[in-house]
Structure 1
């Protein structure tokens, strides 16, 4: 990380809370209407079902990425996806009533009719007295706020990604850790030093058992036992010892 700024973290938490609030309100209102429609044994409009799904996804997503960690700002592509999904949801709902809102035929014969339980008193078209008008306005309003908040979160995520998250440094650190792990735990004997190399470094014979090589007496020890002035005796003793130990090849 390049900096330890906390302003973007506070802004992110606030935006996530607002997104969660919008999703919960829209899902609650539409869920209430779905319950009333089911009570009247009618199918729910597909546009309402789509908006309920988007609201549920927003609630789960906002909770998961709410903690103020810089790494969670990498989820900004999903903010733009939800921004598009909310924008589509708002357009689908808004086209049902357009500028008329609580005076449109769809509102009077469907939303307001079933929200006010007017189906108990007659067929669609009877007076509904503005039933569900404020709730419908709330659904449209919070749908607008939801896509606005997700768009702002996406822009904030790009800013944090470019300013606070060092991509090259992070990738280099991950590669270094992977090299350490692969060197410490080699697979199928890879990355291990050859036996001949280790033997040469330790002054041992690669064909002789390691325990035997480590326990054999050195030339200095042989020389300490014999008379230092008798050079021929020392050479003869060492040659005899090497022949008996298998270090000299026999013709």
Structure 2
């Protein structure tokens, strides 16, 4: 059945695209605030590192081999990293741009505007969901393909001795 392979490819492409969007928008913000304290930018630096690692591993694991399914623990780990990035960015916004998923009255004219921050938050969440779904598909595939088959054992035959023991 090719369904897990197709789902894996689609999820890897989505992970790659979402990580690229986050890396681009977040990188633009980091470039615009050059010279600021790295302590103040820690959340954005963390998100940029997670996005870069996600891009790298999504490209490596994009190839549809059966060995790509055994990486489900790493997929789960990346999902956790993305959920942490999402939480840090939501905490950083702290309602200064309105509710996190309120997309009304947004404009894309300013650089590093609320729309850009909300897009980074939204794509971080979507990336976390895709990595989690990829981990679930991988776990399901590994569990299905390594299941021990319980069959009745064939009777074992004793080898008949053709000689008489002297003991």
**TM-score, normalized by the shorter chain, greater than 0.5:** yes
Residue 227 (structure 1) aligns with: none
Matches within 5 A, 1:159-170: 159-165=140-146
The one of 30, 47, 53 aligned to 2:49? 53
Residue 207 (structure 1) aligns with: none
Do the aligned partners of 1:65 and 1:72 also contact (CA within 8 Å) in 2?
yes
Q: Rg bigger for which structure?
A: 1
TM-score, normalized by length of structure 1? 0.51
Residue 137 (structure 1) aligns with: 118
Residue 102 (structure 1) aligns with: 97
Are positions 1:43 and 2:43 aligned together?
A: no
RMSD: 2.0
The one of 149, 158, 165 aligned to 2:139? 158
> In 2, distance between residues paired with 1:71 and 1:55?
23
Matches within 5 A, 1:50-199: 50-98=46-94, 100-102=95-97, 116=111, 132-165=113-146
> In 2, distance between residues paired with 1:101 and 1:76?
37
SS in 1 for 2:97: helix
Do the aligned partners of 1:101 and 1:137 also contact (CA within 8 Å) in 2?
no
> In 1, distance between residues paired with 2:93 and 2:45?
17
Deviation (angstroms), 1:43: 2.9
Do the aligned partners of 1:80 and 1:151 also contact (CA within 8 Å) in 2?
yes
Are positions 1:12 and 2:8 aligned together?
A: yes
Structure having greater relative contact order (Cα 8 Å, sep ≥ 6):
2
Structure 1: gaps of 5 or more residues? 105-114, 117-130, 169-251
TM-score, normalized by length of structure 2? 0.76
> In 2, distance between residues paired with 1:67 and 1:20?
13
Runs of 4+ in 1 over 4 A off after TM superposition: 165-168
Deviation (angstroms), 1:164: 2.6
Deviation (angstroms), 1:132: 1.2
Deviation (angstroms), 1:89: 0.7
